[in-house]
Amino acid sequence: MTYGPLLVNIGLNEAGIGVAINSVFASDTRIGVPRVLYSRAVLKAQSIEEAIQTCLLQKRAGGYHYLLADAQGRSYSVETSASHHHVHPGERGWLVHTNHYLSTELRALETKRDLRNSQLRFQHALQLLESQLGSLDLESLQNLLRDHANAPNSICEHEDPTAPPHQRFLTLFSMIMDLTQGLMWAAPGPPCQGTYTAYPL
């Protein structure tokens, strides 16, 4: 999966590795390798360890957040900037991340901008997952991605016409991966307006 005009850089592969990304913004950007090339390369990884190392290759131009998982149930949050990184394992079988850094070291490098949208989505996603532990299934995950609490700062995000043009955000697509079965369900646009379609490897 991707959104135009970028390379395909989100998805799963035959080795049972899945990658999703979030844009994060650090102050140490430099001339270097574009971040989408790293996430694209992760899709060639044959193990989660290789996927992590790929995210951390040198000469990064800027940062990305990589959510990595494998068919054995391991998951990692990999936060990067051009010159720093933080790897955090999933402790309870799941991870949540939005568009701000969580590690203390990388928060110190974060560009000064309004993080309220990202923080509200992060906190609400945590609450929803914690309240449904042990009962999560495909339908409940789809409902989570369609959630409108805290709108216009909701998980399912719609463009706010009253916001300045450079601050109008929109969910372009959403997806759910089953790495053991090699399946991805994807919905275009805000998921409340679309239908999830299953795509096998």
Question: Does 156 share its domain with 90?
Answer: no
Distance CA 163, CA 34 (A): 29
Closest of 132, 48, 123 to residue 92, by C-alpha: 132
Question: Does 97 share its domain with 118?
Answer: no
* Residue-wise pLDDT tens digits, 15-74: 999 999 999 999 999 999 998 898 999 999 999 999 999 999 989 999 999 999 999 999
* Residue-wise pLDDT tens digits, 146-182: 999 999 899 999 998 888 888 888 899 999 999 999 9
Question: Does 126 share its domain with 158?
Answer: yes
User: Is the Cβ–Cβ distance between 52 and 41 less than 8 Å?
Assistant: no
The pLDDT-based confidence of 117 (bands split at 50, 70, 90) is very high
Helix (H, G, I), strand (E, B) or coil at 4: coil
The pLDDT-based confidence of 93 (bands split at 50, 70, 90) is confident
If one counts every other C-beta atom within 10 angstroms of the C-beta of residue 30, the result is 11
Question: Does 128 share its domain with 199?
Answer: yes
Alpha helices in the chain (DSSP H): 35-42, 48-55, 104-107, 116-131, 138-145
Question: Does 128 share its domain with 38?
Answer: no
Count up the domains in the chain and report the number: 2
**Which of 112, 147, 173 is the last residue in one of the domains?**
112
Domain holding 197, by residue range, is 114-201
**Amino acid found at 194:** G
Q: CA-based angle 117:31:85, to the nearest 5?
A: 55
